[in-house]
Amino acid sequence: MKLVFASNNKNKIKEIQSILNGSIQLLSLEDIGCHEEIPETADTIEGNAVLKANYVTEKYGYDCFADDTGLEVKALNGEPGVYSARYAGEQKNADDNMDKLLEALKNEKNRSAQFKTVIALNLDGEQHLFTGLAKGEITLEKSGTNGFGYDPIFQPEAYSETFAELASEIKNTISHRAKATEQLIDYLNARK
């Protein structure tokens, strides 16, 4: 089966391909000739996933799925949430975002947080949503060079390492994106 993954984020595409393990042939936005930036104007993570999936289906006619992910920090009432990628500004710089978050939490004892990924699948005229959560806490400083985004400051529950310190084989079984993608795969397999 071929499915478009509505993303131009090379890190996300690589991570999803690794999780899918060849079960689905993944096409990127680049593969279908979509080079524009898809607007992410919803005020929820679910809403942005739906916007992106609908954009590809309506403009290009493909069955596709799109995801949106946010880091929700309890002490900050769920921020940065839907604004995670541009938390420190429109330049979408991961180091700037992490620095701003660490600064916001510098006097906080409660550092609990969760990553949330929502995948919106448009297939055969129907839409389905899949949600994955990874609970953990924000560390005091950056650690590790694997992964992307907030991975160097997020330590998942039951682990002493950050996502950026874990081997990708481990992260890709416990992450928010992995959990949402597993639900997507289970749904697609059940349709066969």
Average pLDDT value for residue range 82-100: 94
26-35 pLDDT tens trace:
899 999 999 9
Candidate ranges 17-21, 96-100, 182-186; pick with highest mean pLDDT: 96-100
Whether pLDDT at 23 is above 80: no
User: Percent of the chain having pLDDT more than 70?
Assistant: 99
Q: 158 versus 190: which is more confidently predicted?
A: 158
pTM for the whole structure: 0.91
Phi, psi of 162 (to 5 degrees): -80, 165
Average pLDDT value for residue range 85-97: 94
Torsion of CA 114, 174, 183, 118, to 10 degrees: 30
Position 117 confidence tier, pLDDT thresholds 50, 70, 90: very high
Contact 100, 120 (CB under 8 A): no
Q: Would you please indicate which residues are annotated as catalytic (active-site) residues?
A: 68
Q: What is the spatial distance between Cα 150 and Cα 42, in angstroms, rounded to a whole number?
A: 21
Domains by residue range for the chain, with CATH: 2-190 (3.90.950.10)
